[in-house]
Amino acid sequence: MLANFIAPDSKDSRLGIKARYRMLVDGKSVDAASGRTIDRVSPGHTGVVVGTWPDASADDVRLAIDAARRAFDTGPWPRMSGAERSRLMFKVAELILANQEDLAVAESLEVGKPIAQARGEIGFCADLWSYAAGQCRGLEGQTHNNIGDDRLGLVLREPVGVVGIITPWNFPFIIASERVPWAIGAGCTVVLKPSEFTSGTSIRMAELAREAGIPDGVFNVVTGYGDPAGQILAEDDRVDMVAFTGSVRVGTKLGEIAARSVKRVGLELGGKGPQIVFADADLDAAADGIAYGVYHNAGQCCISGSRLLVQEGIRDALMQRVLEISSKVTFGDPLNEKTRIGAMISEAHTAKVHSYVEAGVAAGARLLLGGARAGQEHGLYYAPTVFEGVTPDMTIAKEEIFGPVLSTMTFRTADEAVALANSSEFGLSASVWSTNLENALQSIRRIRAGRCWINSVIDGTPELPIGGYKKSGLGRELGRYGFDEYSQFKGIHVTLGTPGRWFN
């Protein structure tokens, strides 16, 4: 067993939690009509069931769509003032904070992420709700007073309608909180379909919204598998928009289905984030950020900094620091406060990550550290893994591994670094490490990615938009731009006085 592996404590009382969840439809807690359920075994604790939720059919989801459609077409929510919606959304944020520890434990057990990380994420989600609550009362259209003495132009902002939101398993509470508050803040109603792996905390979010006073039918949650529970959200004509976060393969399929009814689509898909380190960078800070960027959430992160692009001349010095951190960082038991890297989501995904590692070795990349599973008798864990000598044509340089695997390449000039960064079909995130701010800014401006950092990584704030270039997706969430994603804009020409006659 590796010295930095923390074995799970089988006597931890929190492992006795086996939550039984029900979907939330039209303000009511309901089971699937079939009675079928899904058991979630914690990936960090072999054989321990930590949650059970309904396995919804397409008909179950249609009932949720009915509720959302009715709440939008005839309910009070879209007709409330921004101030009224804001007050209720602030209450949701307060309730999230009041239940922070319980939510964090559930998130840790379902996803396998470290409890300290989960706790911080829940707190961040309360901030997301608070920001959206504050902004939704300030949403505005435009007036045009200079289009003629006898004409006035109005641009009205209106909610897009019923929104289907499909979220992945890696950050269920965060990704829902990056979308639901903006959608309902704009006046929309929502049907949320979380991953079948990690549905519990999404249901709890909707229950807290109900407790806060959000009207029935505004925020519905259905649980089950992508086909049929998620797919029906793209197929049903009563859904005006579908927002999906997940793989390129599934996102492309949903986009094709939605196009049949000319449904608006928001997509946040894969990533292969570069971390560019210039020779003038603070190497200690960069090494720490690189490790965090690739190992955060066991690398199961679409904005993971999984491609390290390091300038020649500092490669050895930087790699020494990265390897030292990688060999000492604690991983294992998600419920241990000292753990920094938790479990993988499933057996199939763990095997997939290992197959990428094997492909890297076969292609000639040098495996400097890791490359193997750990603590298999306890759960689904993979050791921090570092490759050097990677070339742009290798699979581990091109495809999203979604595990704690770092692929290292070198460059000579800033032009070469930018070209390497842009050589990916993805464009979700990028980092630049440099103490020369002009060099850092000029480089980041040339990188085709929607979420970028200078001298940090995987940082976030509700004020800044997120989203992808290229195959990483369509649309933007968060900030003021996030409300535009869930809004329609209506242009109105007002004629004043007596208009000129077309006939006679």
At 94-120, the pLDDT tens digits run 999 999 999 999 999 999 999 999 999
Distance CA 379, CA 8 (A): 8
Please answer whether residues 408 and 388 qualify as being in contact, where contact means their C-beta atoms are separated by less than 8 angstroms: yes
Query: Is 251 among the domain residues?
Result: yes
Which H helix or E strand runs over 116? helix 115-136
Give whole-number Cα distances, 94 to 100, 122, 133, 208, 479, in Å. 10, 11, 11, 10, 20
**In DSSP terms, which residues pair with 6 in a beta bridge?**
332
For residue range 129-148, list pLDDT tens digits in order.
999 999 999 999 999 999 99
The one catalytic residue among 196, 207, 235, 268: 268
Residues 6+ apart with CB under 8 A from 153: 142, 143, 144, 145, 147, 491, 492, 493, 494
Distance of CA 496 to the CA centre of its chain: 48
Distance CA 125, CA 178 (A): 8
Domain around 320 = 274-454
Burial of 490 (0-12, 13-18, 19+ CB in 10 A): exposed
Distance CA 70, CA 67 (A): 5
Do you find a cis peptide bond into 228, omega within 30 degrees of 0? yes
Query: Is 305 among the domain residues?
Result: yes
Residues 6+ apart with CB under 8 A from 405: 294, 299, 306, 353, 356, 357, 360, 370, 385, 386, 387, 396
Distance CA 293, CA 69 (A): 41
Domain shared by 258 and 307, yes or no: no
> How many other C-beta atoms lie within 10 A of the C-beta of residue 292?
16
Domain shared by 188 and 49, yes or no: yes
Query: Is 2 among the domain residues?
Result: no
| 63 backbone dihedrals φ, ψ, rounded to 5° | -65, -40
**Token pair recorded at residue 53:** 């939720």
Distance CA 173, CA 179 (A): 10
Give whole-number Cα distances, 479 to 3, 305, 465, 482, 485, in Å. 43, 23, 5, 6, 11
CATH number at 330 reads 3.40.309.10
Distance CA 470, CA 283 (A): 31
Which residue ranges in the chain fall short of pLDDT 50? none
CATH number at 209 reads 3.40.605.10
Domain shared by 135 and 171, yes or no: yes
- What's the number of domains the chain is made of? 2
User: Is 302 marked active-site?
Assistant: yes
Domain shared by 228 and 248, yes or no: yes
Distance CA 500, CA 84 (A): 43
Residue 175: the pLDDT is: 98
Q: Which residue has the tokens 């075994």?
A: 41
Query: Is 88 among the domain residues?
Result: yes
Query: Is 357 among the domain residues?
Result: yes
The residue type found at 473 is: G
User: Shortest CA distance to 68 belongs to which of 159, 138, 2?
Assistant: 159
User: Is 268 marked active-site?
Assistant: yes
**Full DSSP string of 269-310:** -----EEEE-TTS-HHHHHHHHHHHHHGGGG--TT---EEEE
Domain shared by 93 and 190, yes or no: yes
Domain shared by 195 and 258, yes or no: yes
Domain shared by 231 and 294, yes or no: no
**Token pair recorded at residue 216:** 């029935």
Query: Is 323 among the domain residues?
Result: yes
The one catalytic residue among 136, 188, 301, 302: 302
Domain shared by 401 and 297, yes or no: yes
